[in-house]
Amino acid sequence: MERPCSAQSTSGLRGDYEAAAADYTVVQDCAAYTPDMHDRWRRLYARQSALAGQYAAPQFLSGLQRLDCAHAIPDFDQAGHILEEATGWRLVAVPGFIPDACFFAHLAGRRFPVTYWLREERELDYLVEPDVFHDFFGHVPMLLDPVFADFMAAYGKAGERATAMGALDMLARIYWYTVEFGLIDQGAGLRAFGAGLVSSAGEIVHSVESPQPLRLQFDAVRILRTAYHIDAFQSCYFVLDSLEQLMGDLVALDFGPIYAAWRDSAPLPPDRIVDGDRIYVPQPAVEWV
């Protein structure tokens, strides 16, 4: 099939790419999910929502509650209505990881690609590729937040220029350190909102509680220069003090000159502290009397 989006290879990935349209979308066949799969979803949901109650940001928890998806693998069209009403986003089913240009085009059009298949029983704790639990449970709740929703679309729109400038690696770090592994402290303590954290039983606890990782205050330029781990817990996290910071920085900053200045240098290793870094310091809880 002709795929105008990109010639990036999808061989070796596990979803059914043969059935996908030119924009890599597929039809979600809800009837194909077995009772075993729904049961596995329920157990993943129960474990992860309990952890989220303790460690996730209130915006995530509120979105999750509105989606009402504890009991079965959600129907993307049904959940998509709730989302569309809240922030104008829709869900599209995809076979898994899709080429960058396609992914960015979906985000810019306020369509979030959700992998349709669920991990196997032996992969409950960890898997390499995104599945429906990571994509839906991890990503969709935050898309019900209007500020986060606008940020994701702006990120999608930024893809084209980054690609043209040979700086996609740099832009992808923004996604990684916010959408996937972002932390936030809105004055009530450190909380996770990144999908890679809220969908992980191990890293959601590690990211908030471990004394090991470096935690820096959110800084878009610093993020553009910082490498990340793809197969281990992060050794660096960036901490927002509000979601508005995301929109503010993406809109206010002209990424072009930053790409030009740094795209040919090696990125900073994730655990290195450099001049000008603002280390995150937890604020003592305020006692209201």
In the complex, the residues that contact ligand HBI under the rule CB under 6 A are 94, 97-98, 100, 103, 113, 115, 130, 172, 175
Handedness of CA 39, 191, 80, 153 (dihedral sign): negative
Residue 112: count other Cβ atoms within 10 Å of its Cβ.
Answer: 24
CA distance 169 to 173: 7
Closer to ligand HBI at the Cβ: 129 or 241?
129
- One of 106, 139, 203, 207 is an active-site residue; which one? 139
229 is catalytic: no
Nearest approach, Cβ of residue 28 and ligand HBI (Å): 14
Element housing 236 (H / E)? strand 236-240
180 is catalytic: yes
- In angstroms and rounded to an integer, the radius of gyration of the C-alpha atoms of the chain is 19
Nearest approach, Cβ of residue 23 and ligand HBI (Å): 12
Q: Which of 156, 155, 172 is nearest to 230 (CA)?
A: 172
Contact 117, 15 (CB under 8 A): yes
Q: Which of 80, 63, 74 is nearest to 116 (CA)?
A: 74
Q: Which of 44, 73, 118, 195 is the binder for Fe ion (CB under 5 A)? A: 195
Nearest approach, Cβ of residue 124 and ligand HBI (Å): 20
Window contacting Fe ion (CB under 5 A); options: 76-84, 114-122, 162-170, 187-195: 187-195
In the shown chain, the binding pattern of residues 43 to 72 toward Fe ion, with x for contact by CB under 5 A and - for none, equals ------------------------------
In the shown chain, the binding pattern of residues 75 to 94 toward Fe ion, with x for contact by CB under 5 A and - for none, equals --------------------
Reading the block at residue 27, the tokens are 């039809």
Interface contacts to Fe ion, rule CB under 5 A? 195
